[in-house]
Amino acid sequence: MNPNNREVQARKTCELYAYVLISQDKEVPDAILECASSYDYPVECVTELAQELKSLDTATFERIVKNPFSQEARDLAQWWEMYQTYIPVS
Q: Is 70 exposed, middle or buried (0-12, 13-18, 19+ CB in 10 A)?
A: middle
> What does pTM read for this prediction?
0.91
Confidence band for 42, pLDDT divided at 50, 70 and 90: confident
pLDDT at 90 over 60: no
| Overall domain count for the chain | 1
Q: Which domain holds residue 55?
A: 5-86
Residue with more model confidence, 24 or 6: 24
pLDDT at 79 over 60: yes
Query: Computed over its alpha carbons, how large is the radius of gyration of the chain?
Result: 13
Mean pLDDT score of the chain, rounded to an integer?
93
pLDDT for position 61: 97
Q: Measuring CA to CA, how many Å separate 19 from each of 3, 4, 13?
A: 22, 23, 10
Confidence band for 26, pLDDT divided at 50, 70 and 90: very high
pLDDT for position 70: 95
What is the average per-residue pLDDT within 59-70?
Answer: 95
